[in-house]
Every structure is written in C-alpha cells, then in structure tokens.
Amino acid sequence: MSTLEIRSLRKKYGGLEILKGIDITLEKGGFLVLVGPSGCGKSTLLRMVAGLETVTSGEIDIGGRIVNQIEPADRDIAMVFQNYALYPHMTVYNNMAYGLRNRGMPKGEIDTRVQEAARILELTAMLERKPGQLSGGQRQRVAMGRAIVRQPKVFLFDEPLSNLDAKLRIAMRVEIRKLQRRLNTTSIYVTHDQLEAMTLADVLVVMNGGQVEQIGNPLQIYEKPATTFVASFIGAPPMNLISMQPDELKVRLGGGAPGEAVVLGIRPEDFVVSGEASGIAFDLAVEAVERVGAETFVYGTRQREADGVAANPGELPPGALIVRLPGSSAPALGEHIRVVAPRQKLHLFSADGQRRIEI
C-alpha cells in the first residue's frame, strides 16, 4: 500500500476551479516535489493534504485511510511553513515540545524526542534560546525539529527556504535531503524554484493552471519534457523553442521529420560551436554575453529567415537563441558565430505545445 494517494482531486471556489483533477501516487519514504509558477495550485494541493483546505471532490488517502473528513490534527502529518511559525516567547526546547504536550505525551518521552531531534539538527546548544536569538537557518531547523518530534507518516514542506539568502538556501537544501533520507519519512515539498525541485525530488510533479503537466523522475523530465511548458520551466536558462513548418523541418532534418507543424526545442547547453557537427545549424549574431564563472551564456539573434518563424506565446522572441558555452569560451559582442544543434539533442513538440513528438 502506498503512503499517499491523491485520486481525481478537485478544488473549486464558487465557479472558479483551482485544481482540475489531480492524480498522484507516492510510495512510502518517497520525496515528492510539487513545482510550478505562482498560482498553479501547488500550495492549495498541499493544504488540502494537510486538511487546511476542504476537498470539492476526489480522495486523499494517507496510509490506507481516506482523510477527506478528518481534522488536520488527526491526519498524522507534520508541516514546515515558509515563515517558520515559531512561538517567539518560547525557547527552542519548548517550541519543539509544545505540540507533544498538547497531546498529553509523558514528559520523559517528550524529552527523549526533543533531545534526539536537537542532536540530529545540531540544535542541542541552542535549546534554551528563543527564536529572536537565532539566525534564519537556525529558526528553519527548529521548525523542522518541531515536525520531526511528531514522528508523522508524512512531512509537508511549504516553500520552507524562500526567506533565506542564496548561500543558506543551498546549505539547507542539502540538509533537508540528508535528513529526509535518514528518517525515511514520506515527504511532499512545494517550491517554485526548479533547481530546488530537481535536486530534492525522487518524484517531480510539474503543475500548471491547476493541472499536472508531467510527473516522473527529475532527470527523465529534464531529458524528455512532455510539453513546451515543462521544457521551458525545467532548466535554466530555459529551452529554446522555435516554431517550424513541415517543409522547413524536412529540409533541416531530412528523413524522419514529422509531416506537421512543430515546435523545435533545443537546450542552450546542447549547441556545438562548429561548422562540422551534424544537425540543425544557425548563424547567430551575438547581442549579449553573461560570464558566470564556469560557463558563459550567449544571447543572439538568428540571421537566416529560414531558421525560424514567429514564435508562439511563451516562446523566446522571434529570432532569439540562448547558447551555453564553457566559461573560457566567449565571443565578442556583434560577432557572428555558427552553432549546431545535434540531431540526437533535438526535442519536437506539437504546434500547440501540448504533445511531445519522438523522432
């Protein structure tokens, strides 16, 4: 039996449908990440699992028990919020122990759980401090400790790192993943940051407009996005998307080209700066160069009319390409370079962007 099953889940506010039939299965001990742009429904979905939002239709099954009508406190879940939600007048120890005391747990058991969580999170020396005496990362660890002492069936994380600076986010991301693997507790994590999503997830769910665009292993989603939305959302810089007509594609691909208008996708890192490589070639006028250390991003305009036509909504502007190069390689502004996308690195999608086409 899976630890969590979400079946045909819908959420409506009056005539506005926020979630449009969500189906997700997560096995025990798995780490599932919900990722998508603001307003896509990921936080609403998490709150429905937590019991903080009612279900319009569908079922939420935790450990073989339908929890739709069960109060949040009785669902055997623990939630880590974006704003930590710590009691400022309580010590770290009491913040972590508070929920257990409310449940009537014996004092000795409470102390054992709090001390163990503090040891795991390296908070032992801070148990008598109050939240105001802690850094942002330390406060986030206290919030995680409060969830750990519950020993729940499911951890729920609602964008827990969004208030931290970039360096601390990276460190805490690593700590959360190490902790989850150590505890082997089923976890659902909400974020709009695709890098967080890729590095944390066992199972990645990409959401858009209240629906699941794609679900699967992060690397599989990166290598074979199901739609142009997934292709452009997962990956930084985003995938280059170019609309092409059937005849144009046949000229450039030769055999195996589909007989329909398509959107051609090319990841910036898959270009080769060479006149010899086999694939689809573009002459590019360099308009901007970003050096970021180990790599360089080159922004340019395609110079041949046949290399692309007007882009669909959500694509790069007509004629624009992004190319990722090694840090030591950087053409000059205004220079013309030839880049080639090898055939095996190409992605094709239907003209509406809703279907992947294999070649």
Residues 104 and 67 in one domain: yes
Residues 340, 279 contacting (CB under 8 angstroms):
yes
Amino acid in position 30: G
Task: State the pLDDT at residue 215.
Answer: 97
Residues 97 and 67 in one domain: yes
Amino acid in position 214: Q
Residues 117 and 158 in one domain: yes
Supply the CATH number for residue 178's domain.
3.40.50.300
Residues 186 and 320 in one domain: no
Tokens of 29: 């001990």
Question: 251: Cβ–Cβ under 8 A, 6 or more apart, which residues?
Answer: 306
Residues 218 and 286 in one domain: no
Residues 311, 241 contacting (CB under 8 angstroms):
yes
Q: What are phi and psi of 141, to 5 degrees?
A: -65, -35
Tokens of 262: 């398509």
Task: State the pLDDT at residue 44.
Answer: 95
What is the C-alpha separation between 50 and 68, in angstroms, rounded? 10
Residues 215 and 274 in one domain: no
Residues 38 and 179 in one domain: yes
Task: State the pLDDT at residue 255.
Answer: 66
Final residue of a domain: which of 228, 261, 283? Answer: 228
**What is the span of the domain harbouring residue 335?**
234-357
Final residue of a domain: which of 197, 228, 259? Answer: 228
For the chain, the straight-line distance linking the first and the last C-alpha, in angstroms and rounded, comes to 38
Task: State the pLDDT at residue 28.
Answer: 92
Task: State the pLDDT at residue 172.
Answer: 83
Question: 93: Cβ–Cβ under 8 A, 6 or more apart, which residues?
Answer: 114, 118, 127, 128
Low-confidence residues of the chain, pLDDT below 70?
1-2, 254-256, 274-277, 304-318
In 10 A of CB 349, how many CB atoms?
25
What is the C-alpha separation between 208 and 22, in angstroms, rounded? 11
Count how many domains the chain has.
2
Tokens of 31: 């780490």
Final residue of a domain: which of 228, 243, 264? Answer: 228
Residues 86 and 181 in one domain: yes
Residues 112 and 176 in one domain: yes
Radius of gyration in angstroms for the set of CA atoms belonging to the chain, rounded to a whole number: 24
CA-CA-CA-CA torsion sign (101, 106, 112, 115):
positive
Q: What are phi and psi of 56, to 5 degrees?
A: -75, -45
Residue 185 DSSP label: -
Amino acid in position 134: L
Supply the CATH number for residue 326's domain.
2.40.50.140
Residues 66 and 85 in one domain: yes
Tokens of 279: 């694939």
Question: 196: Cβ–Cβ under 8 A, 6 or more apart, which residues?
Answer: 33, 35, 161, 169, 173, 189
SS3 content of the chain, % helix, strand, coil (to 5): 30, 30, 40
Residues 274 and 331 in one domain: yes
Residues 199 and 340 in one domain: no
